[in-house]
Amino acid sequence: MGFISSLLCCSSSSSSSSKPGEKRSTKQRPLSPQQSKIHATLSNSARQLQVRPESTRAGSTRPGAITAGAGRNTPESAAAAGPAVSDMGSKAPVVGLGNAHKDEDLDEVETQNKEDKQMVSVYNGETESSTGTADEHNVVTAVLPLLPAGQKTAVGEETAVMVTNEADQASSADDTGGELLPAPSYEYDPEQDGSQEIVDLTMLQPEQAHAPGFTTLLPPRTPQFAGKKCLVLDLDETLVHSSFKFLRTADFVIPVDIDNQVHNVYVIKRPGVDDFLKLVGQIYEVVVFTASVSRYGDPLLDVLDQNHCIHHRLFRDSCYNYDGNYIKNLSQIGRPLSDLIILDNSPASYIFHPQHAIPISSWFSDIHDNELLDIMPLLEDLAQENVQDVGKILDVTI
């Protein structure tokens, strides 16, 4: 552009070198060959630089000159614009642009917009306006071909949807290590239930003590207890508390042979235990079931049950061994479960039949304890003949 600028400067200086006294001619002169060449060069340069209509409006400082050039596109209008070119100097390129150039620029902008509309950006995440640009989200860009003039945009939309689906599948494959995992099945499989071990709680374990000649812990019910329900009582911390240490408040002392050595066991009776045993002995078939050994339990019960209110005694060898724990399995007693009630301070002891249990707190030495007396009215109600299944009542009320 240095050559063009120098020519414009020469043209401007020659027009300004006229004498002061001479009047400038108002007649428009035709363009000389040199000016025509300059005009053509400026037009070609404007096309190469893709000068847009906004730059044309910004560069014009003489509205009269722009109007003169913008209204017509004839050789006469070009000749009329000649003096304006020589007077504006370096601003001549703006004056030289007409409506024809504006139309060409608008066509180029419209074509560029069409191409931009064919760019489809697909990525997983938020939009560019909310959490950053597409480059930050690993954009997958697909350039779609331009549609013919008469074809609808439905094909372009279908192609964009196809590209989006492919991108979603690719992202899912990346999350799973390149492999699409099958959907989990929630259908019922009877083989899985068949593989689980089913335990019959009524079956005796090897070396488990039971009634002679029977497969139950107790022999069949005698006519003496016909129509009565069966009450299973725990011993330690439920009816009494025992200790090898000397207890000044002990109710009695029993000798126990342990490894050929006799030890004294000091026993304290729970408050109200004598009255409790008298009552339940009249309305129930009473069984004391303890996890203690018989050499300790038998002499203790001989002293405790002076009135013979306890009808059966079961010890550790009659317990059901479950994961190293001594469980009092009511299913092996030999009585209907609907008639069985257990009173125990340890929930682990009746883990198989919690709906048949009456909980009671562990007792050690509290002389103000009245729980045995408080439970007596409940046991009287459960002993009634109109109670068909004690499990259905205890499972709700306790």
- The shares of helix, strand and coil residues in the chain, as percent rounded to the nearest 5, are 45, 15, 40
Rounded to 10°, the helix 390-397/371-382 angle is 140
Catalytic residue among 234, 305, 339, 344: 234
Cα separations in angstroms, 26 against 2, 8, 65, 186 = 31, 21, 15, 97
Is residue 221 helix, strand or coil?
A: coil
What separation in angstroms does the CA of 161 have from each of 157, 327, 336? 6, 66, 70
Q: Is 193 an annotated catalytic residue?
A: no
Sequence letter at residue 374:
D
Q: Which of 168, 189, 236, 395 is catalytic?
A: 236
Question: Residue 256: CB partners within 8 Å, gap ≥ 6?
Answer: 262, 263, 264, 265, 295, 296, 299
Q: What's the N-to-C CA distance of the chain in angstroms?
A: 104
- Which residues, at least 6 apart from 281, have a Cβ–Cβ distance to it below 8 Å? 307, 308, 309, 310, 311
Sign of the C-alpha dihedral computed for residues 41, 45, 47 and 52 taken in this order: negative
Tokens, residue 1 = 């552009």
Quick check: is 236 catalytic? yes
**Closest to 331 measured CA to CA, from 367, 356, 348, 300:** 356
Is residue 270 within 8 A of residue 259, CB to CB? The reply is no
At residue 170, φ and ψ (nearest 5 deg) are -65, -40
Owner of token pair 């893709």: 50
How many other C-beta atoms can be found within 10 angstroms of the C-beta atom of residue 35? 19
**Phi, psi dihedrals of residue 3, rounded to the nearest 5°:** -65, -40
Catalytic residues: 234, 236
